[in-house]
Amino acid sequence: MDFELSEDQRAIQQAARDFTNTEMAPHAAQWDAESIFPKEVFGKGGELGFCGLYAAEDAGGLALPRLDATLVFEEMSRVDPSTAAFFTIHNMAAWMVSLWASPAVKAHWGPLLSSGRKLASYCLTEPGAGSDAASLKTRARRDGDHYVINGAKAFISGAGSTDALVVMARTGGDGAKGISAFVVPADTPGIAYARKEDKMGWRSQPTGGISFDDVRVPADHRLGEEGEGFKFAMKGLDGGRINIAACSVGAAQGALDAARAYMGERRQFGRKIGDFQALQFKLADMQIQLTAARQMVRLAASRLDAGHRDATTYCAMAKAFATDAGFCIINDALQLHGGYGYIREYPIERLLRDARVHQILEGTNEIMRVLVSRALLKTNEEIR
């Protein structure tokens, strides 16, 4: 068992760090304050492969392991969890297209998405189907060589600003087995976009609802076979949970770095606040939790890469632990900054706002605990 990163992994990590410091760090606060969706930065990231990290090579992707992808997302999130998170969402959509699209659709959309020249949104959540995604109501009816889609999606990242939508819609009966997946060009007639939500965090990416009114999509834009959509969605969410956990680890690392620097500068009662043991212990606890979260994320990623039978459980555990721990670490970093942590002159308040939603999306952390408990109760074997 080797916990060290390889030379190739360290090179990927350094490339992501350089890109983040050059292209994201100088602008992250402005993107947040002005709710700017920085489409140009995704194009620049795409030139380095960051928009198709684990998409198939024949679709223009790098086909990297999920573990390697977490290194990129963690580095980006040290500075800007909001923009980093959209990189993860786009990567998930590009990966799904690269694996399950028809040859013609894959040939067209694969290279465009993997290069970041075009961006994609992932459309699963509905107004009445959040945690219970298998109950979604959006329907796709077969009509000759097309499907006709009707319904609505909610809380879609990138809504109205992306070029392709990976849409889950019901083609059969109730439940998971009646759901299929489609690649839908975002400008198809009949698609309407609701107003952008005014969010607490993740302000550098638009979030909103999408409605489908008799949207006609060629049949070859279906991913895989009818009824396979929910299976694809769940496979996507396994990786998505690792990705968002990595974003929490990165944001926590950024907050810890800021707190450590601040403790060496700020003076009270004639001493640097880093000289007070109570605060030293607080910093130590933050580092302990961060190290544990990072290792759990990397373990889950390695399980997913290996096709381990309990990979879904590991992904759920990593997501719950890392997003909970990450938020607590950032909150503690804000406390160490005192009043300065609460104002926008320092990055801590933005990291805190961005990281909070990580405990909700890709399945709430309550649902993660449902998944873990089910795995424990359905078998007599240990999870290890």
Q: For residue range 217-259, what is the model confidence (pLDDT) as tens digits?
A: 999 999 999 999 999 999 999 999 999 999 999 999 999 999 9
Same-domain pairing of 289 and 193:
no
β-bridge mates for residue 143, sequence order: 146
State residue 131's pLDDT score. 83
Last residue of a domain, one of 226, 254, 283: 226
- Cβ atoms of residues 325 and 256 within 8 Å: no
Same-domain pairing of 372 and 244:
yes
User: Which element (helix H / strand E) includes 122?
Assistant: strand 120-123
Q: Which of 301, 326, 322 is nearest to 312 (CA)?
A: 301
Same-domain pairing of 220 and 235:
no
Pick 334 or 266 by higher pLDDT: 334
Same-domain pairing of 363 and 241:
yes
Tell me the Ramachandran region of residue 74: left when phi exceeds 0, alpha when psi lies from -120 to 50, beta otherwise.
alpha
Cα end-to-end span (Å), the chain:
14
State residue 380's pLDDT score. 67
Task: State which residues form the domain around 21.
Answer: 7-114
Same-domain pairing of 238 and 367:
yes
- Cβ atoms of residues 78 and 71 within 8 Å: no
Same-domain pairing of 86 and 131:
no
Catalytic residue selected from 57, 126, 362, 381: 362
Residue at 384 is within a domain: no
Residue at 56 is within a domain: yes
Task: Report d(CA 84, CA 92) in Å as an integer.
Answer: 13
State residue 243's pLDDT score. 98
Last residue of a domain, one of 192, 226, 260: 226
Question: Coil, helix or strand for 154?
Answer: strand
Between 167-176, 196-205, 280-289, 370-379, the lowest mean confidence (pLDDT) is in 370-379
Count of domains forming the chain: 3
Same-domain pairing of 184 and 255:
no
226 is catalytic: no
CA 33 to chain centre: 21
How would residue 122 be classed by pLDDT, with cut points 50, 70 and 90?
A: very high
Same-domain pairing of 262 and 362:
yes
Residue at 55 is within a domain: yes
State residue 1's pLDDT score. 67
**Beta-carbon count within 10 A of 376 CB:** 13
Rounded average pLDDT over 24-53: 97
List the CATH number of the domain containing 94.
Answer: 1.10.540.10
Last residue of a domain, one of 184, 209, 226: 226
Tens digit of pLDDT for each residue in 156-208? 999 999 999 999 999 999 999 999 999 999 999 999 999 999 999 999 999 99
List the CATH number of the domain containing 242.
Answer: 1.20.140.10
Same-domain pairing of 238 and 214:
no
